[in-house]
A = this chain, B = another copy of it.
Amino acid sequence: MNVPADHLDHRVRGGWTPAGAAAAHLPAHASRWLSARTGLTPTRTPVAPDSAMRVAESELPAEVRAVLNAIVGAEHVLVERVDRLARAGGLSYVDLMRRRGAGELPVPDAVVLPADAVEVERVVALCAEHNVGIVPFGGGTSVVGGVAALRGDRGAVIALDLNRLHRLLSVDPVSRLATFEAGVVAPEAERLLAARGFTLGHFPQSYERATLGGFAATRSSGQASAGYGRFEDMVESLRVATPRGDWRVGVAPASAAGPDLRQLVLGSEGAFGVITEVTVRVRPIPAWTRYEGFIVDGFAQGAEIVRALAQSGTLGAVTRLSDPQETEVALALSGGWKMAALRAYLRVRGIAEPALLIVGWEAGSRRDLRARRRESLRHLGGTVRLGTAAGETWRHGRFAGPRQRDALLDAGMCVETLETAAYWSRLGELRDTVTSALRDSLTTAERRPVVACHISHSYETGASLYFTTLVPRAADDPIGQWQQAKEAACAAIAGLGTITHHHAIGVDHAPYLAAEIGELGVGVLRAVRANLDPNGVLNPGKLT
C-alpha cells in the first residue's frame, strides 16, 4: 500500500529526517562544544530498525474490518506492520526514544484512510458502534502524546489517517476565506493559496509535516503569530465528524449567538470529533519582507523591548527573543570565525549577556514595510543591530530544529522542549523558576544541562516562553530522566502561567489540566465529550 508510505516514511526512521534526505549531521565543533559544556561522551545511538520493534498482532475484529473495507476501500485499511508503526505515536523525545529501544510504543491495530468528510463520518459511526478507539492522525507531529495509539478499555484502536483529505475546497477572495480539508499539510496549503495570491501565514516549527486539522485540534501557534495571529484566530468555521453526526460551527466573523463553539472545537484534540474541514482567513502574500537581528543585553532588557513593541502595536510579524543561554547555544552550534568575531565585538560594546532578538517585517508595499520597520525601531534603541544577514539566517534555518534534534539524539543527548505563557509581570519569574527546575532536576556530577529559552509569541498582556533542554542522556533511564525534569518544570509553571501555550494537552499535560482550568473545567470538557461521544471511542486517554 503506497499512498501513505511516502508522506510518513520518516516515521519509520524514528525521527524528522525524511528517507530521501541526508540525515542531519552534528558538526565536529558542535560535538566538541557539547562535550565541554554538558559533559557529553558522544555515542552512536541510531534508531532501531523496524524489524526490532515489538508490534502485536492487530486485534481489529474481522467484522469491523470488513465494514471499514466497504466504506473506504480495502486498499485504504492497512494492517501491515510498517504502516501501523508509521502512525505509532508522535515526535516527542519520549516517542523518539521508544524508537531507539527505550520503553514500549503503542501501535494501532489498523490504519484507516478515508477519502473525504463523509467517509470519516461513517468510519467514526462504525467505530462508536463497535467500541473501537479512534486516534485522528494528521502529520503525526504531536510532542505531547496527542496521537499515541492508546485504547484504554476498548478492544482495538485505529489510526484515522486524514492524509487523503488533501483538497482546497473553496476560496472566497472577497471575504478572504479558504476552506480546506483537514488533512492538507501546511506547505501544500501555502502552495494552493499562493496560486490565488494568498497566504495563511501559519509557520510553526512543525510546518513541513503538520496538517491544518492538527493545527485546529491543538490550538497551534506559528512563528509569525504576531503578524498573522494564532491558528485559532484564523479559523472562521469548522466541520467535525462526531459519533452523533456531522457538526458545523461558525457562520460569521463574529457572533453573540451563545458561547463561541469554534473555540470549544479548537483545542479539543480529537476528543469531541474528528475535524474534517477548516475554513480559514487568508491574506495577500506580502510582497516585501525584511528580517533583522539585534543583540540586547540580557533577557530582562529584551523582554522589556518586546513588551514595548507588543503594547504599542509595533511587533514585527516575527518577533523572537532568545535568552543568553539560547543565544550561546546558537552561536556555539553555528561555530566558525564569524561567531568568534561577533563575540569579541559584543564584548567591546559592553554587552555582558548577549541575547538575540529577531524581528521580521512583512508588508504589501515597500512603503508600508519601511513604515512598520520605522515604528518598531523607535523601541529598539540601545540594541546592537546585526542587520539582515542574522535575520535571514534565522529565517532560512527556522524549520531545521527537528532535524538537528535527530542528530543530537543519535549522539547521545536528551533534547526536549516545553513551553508556557504568562502575563508580562510574571514572565521573568516564570523563566527563572522553570529554568532552575529543569537545571536542578537534570544536573548530576557528570551531566551539566543547558536550559535555553525564547519568547516567540507576544501579546499586549504577556508572552510565551519556549524552553529547550540539552543534557547527556542517562543511559539507564533516558525516559525517566526527562519525565522527572518535565514534572519539576510543570510544578514550577503552576500558578504563574499556562501548562502549554501551543503544544496542547495530549497525554503528557493531562495531569496538570485540572490545576489550570479547575475540576469544574475538566468536568465541563468531560460532559461535552460524553454528549458527543457517549461510548468514549474518540482519542482515548487524551485531553481529559
Contact = CB atoms under 8 A, between A and B. Distances in A.
Nearest to A175: B423
A505 to B, nearest CB: 5
Interface stretch (A293-301, A385-393, A403-411, A455-463): A455-463
A517 interface: yes
A121 to B, nearest CB: 12
A288 interface: no
A498 interface: yes
Name the residue in A174, A259, A264 with the highest tally of chain B Cβ atoms < 10 Å from its Cβ: A259
B422 A252 contact: yes
B501 A255 contact: yes
Contact of A256 (B219, B424, B517): B219
Contacts of A247: 518, 520-521
A503 B267 contact: no
Interface string A224-265: 000000101000100000101101110111111111110111
Contacts of A30: none
Contacts of A420: 252
A444 interface: no
A260 B459 CA distance: 16
B528 A174 contact: no
Given A261-B517, A266-B260, A219 B255 contact: yes
Nearest to A273: B520
B261 A256 contact: no
Nearest to A520: B247
A505 B230 CA distance: 28
A218 interface: yes
A258 B505 contact: yes
Q: State the number of copies, please.
A: 2
Contacts of A174: 307, 423-425
A463 B281 CA distance: 14
A524 B531 contact: yes
B462 A504 contact: no
Nearest to A311: B176
Name the residue in A258, A517, A528 with the highest tally of chain B Cβ atoms < 10 Å from its Cβ: A258
Contacts of A264: 259-260, 263-264, 524
A502 interface: yes
Given A251-B516, A268-B259, A498-B257, A461 B175 contact: yes
Contacts of A355: none
Contacts of A531: 523-524, 526-527
A37 B177 CA distance: 41
A128 to B, nearest CB: 14
Contact of A501 (B248, B254, B463, B516): B254
Contacts of A245: 520
A380 interface: no
Contacts of A421: 252-255
A513 interface: yes
Given A252-B462, A258-B505, 18 more contacts: A175-B462, A177-B423, A245-B520, A249-B518, A253-B459, A254-B457, A255-B499, A256-B502, A256-B503, A256-B504, A257-B499, A258-B268, A258-B504, A259-B267, A260-B266, A264-B264, A371-B371, A527-B531
